Amino acid sequence: MSRIRKTQAHDPGALPVRDRYGLLVGTVAPRPIALASTVDAEGRRNLAPFSYFNVFSIDPPMLMVGPTLRGRDGTVKDTLANARATGEIVINLVDHAMVEGTSLSSSDYPADVDEFAKAGFTPVDSDTVGPARVGEAPVAFECAVSQILELGDGPGAGHTLVCEVKRVHIAEDVLGADGKPDAHAIDLVGRCGGNFYVRASGEALFEIPKPTGAGLGVGVDALPEEVRDTGRLSLNESARLGAAREIPDETEVNEHKLIELSDLFMEHEDDPTALEAALFAEARQRLEQGDVDGAWKTLLAYNPG
């Protein structure tokens, strides 16, 4: 069964800037948020959030932030002007407890207005750069701006700040017992389209083991066609099976069928359609419980011939 979706095609160059913005930020989401602290040449503080942001290098440690030119008139935002003037920036990460203040700091206040005060955040002196860090932030990166990449000169054009991390401040209450950041405790938020955000904690947080270590996953293409073509497995379920390092052999499958699946085969011995549904339901349940090997054996026991 095909999972290829019907799509609409758009030429972004033919769209007005406002519509192009909505299309891109509404689809490339969620995006991490950089609450950027800068100062101008006179030392006046500025604070503004940007969701065109991520980490791009470990050695050297580099972050990138993308302040665009103002969409209404193409003028330069204070963060970009200040980064040009001083070559320094502090990138603060945003958790759920500070997201409302972060949103407020995005207001286009005049350059002489201190957004720390407007948003209710506490400025804390940095160790290596001039701009203050946000005292309430779970993580703050003191950075030197090593490059500014200009991607255009019209309204909405991106100007990427390439920032080398000079000092990292991490709140002790977001560190786990192993001394590493705890994804649940850090409670970060991400930006989506419109007024929407996402919270990376609670039920929204889940784990997928990385396909690393000895050996390669067998791949989705290793599943028998009669299993792949039923449409009873989701893309994620198929991929979870494909991440297995090996396929159970015939002896293991027969043993599993006799011991674990005998009741299902007896219950549905006269109804192949019901048996198929029951076996796939059993396999999906095992996948949900993390028993990938058992799911494989269950599906290999399925023989519609």
What confidence tens digit (pLDDT) does each residue in 248-299 have? 999 999 999 999 999 999 999 999 999 999 999 999 999 999 999 999 999 9
Regarding whether 295 and 153 lie in a shared domain, the answer is no
d(CA 108, CA 120) in angstroms, rounded, equals: 16
Q: At residue 1, does pLDDT exceed 60?
A: no
pLDDT for residue 213: 63
Same domain, 263 and 288: yes
Reported as a single tens digit per residue, the pLDDT across 84-93 is: 999 999 999 9
The answer on 251 and 130 residing in a single domain is no
- Judging by beta carbons within 10 Å of its beta carbon (0-12, 13-18, 19+), is residue 194 exposed, middle or buried? exposed
Q: Are residues 140 and 94 in the same domain?
A: yes
| Residue 249: partners with Cβ closer than 8 Å, 6 or more residues away | none
Q: How far apart are CA 302 and CA 271, in angstroms?
A: 13
Residues 138 and 227 in one domain: no
Based on the domain organization, do 141 and 183 belong to the same domain?
Answer: yes
Q: What is the mean pLDDT of the chain?
A: 92
Q: Is the pLDDT of residue 118 over 60?
A: yes
Mean pLDDT of 212-241: 86
163-205 pLDDT, tens digit each? 999 999 999 999 999 999 999 999 999 999 889 999 988 888 7
Total domains in the fold of the chain:
2
Does 99 map to a domain?
A: yes
Predicted TM-score (pTM) of this structure? 0.83
Question: Can you give the pLDDT at residue 303?
Answer: 78
* Pairing of β 189-191 and β 159-170: unpaired
Given 178, 204, 230, the domain boundary residue is: 204
Tens digit of each residue's pLDDT (9 = 90 or more) over 9-67: 999 889 998 898 899 888 888 999 999 999 999 999 999 999 999 999 999 999 999 99
User: Chain-centre distance of CA 259, in angstroms?
Assistant: 42
Is residue 243 included in any domain, yes or no? yes
Question: Which one of 204, 237, 265 terminates a domain?
Answer: 204
248-264 burial, b for 16+ CB within 10 Å, e for fewer? beeeebeebbeeebeeb
234 and 168 belong to one structural domain: no
How confident is the model over 210-234, as a mean pLDDT?
84
Whether the per-residue pLDDT at 102 is higher than 70: the answer is yes
Domain that includes residue 135, residue range: 12-204
Task: Assess whether 130 and 259 both reside in one domain.
Answer: no
pLDDT tens digit sequence for 61-83: 999 999 998 888 888 999 999 99
Tell me, yes or no, whether 155 and 229 share the same domain: no
Q: Is residue 4 part of a domain?
A: no
Match 């219950």 to its residue by tokens: 267
Beta carbons within 10 angstroms of residue 158's beta carbon: 13
Task: Residue 119: name the closest of 146, 143, 92 by CA.
Answer: 92
Cβ within 8 Å of residue 142, ≥6 positions away? 90, 126, 127, 128, 129, 133, 165, 166, 167, 168, 169
Q: Is the pLDDT of residue 2 over 70?
A: no
Q: What is the CATH number of the domain that holds 63?
A: 2.30.110.10
CA distance 151 to 153: 7
Q: Is residue 212 part of a domain?
A: no
Q: What percent of the chain has pLDDT over 90?
A: 69
- Whether 83 maps to a domain, the answer reads yes
Whether the per-residue pLDDT at 3 is higher than 80: the answer is: no
128 and 61 share a domain?
yes
Query: Taking the CA of residue 31 as centre, how many other CA atoms within 13 Å lie in the half-sphere pointing to its CB?
Result: 23
Q: Based on the fold, state whether residues 250 and 159 are members of the same structural domain.
A: no
Is 39 among the domain residues? yes
Cβ-Cβ contacts under 8 Å for 122 (sequence gap 6 or more): 116, 134, 135, 136
Q: Which of 204, 234, 257 is the last residue of a domain?
A: 204
Asked if residue 51 and residue 82 are part of one domain, the reply reads: yes
Residue 174 resides in a domain: yes
* Domain-located, residue 2: no
φ, ψ of residue 296 to 5 degrees: the values are -60, -50
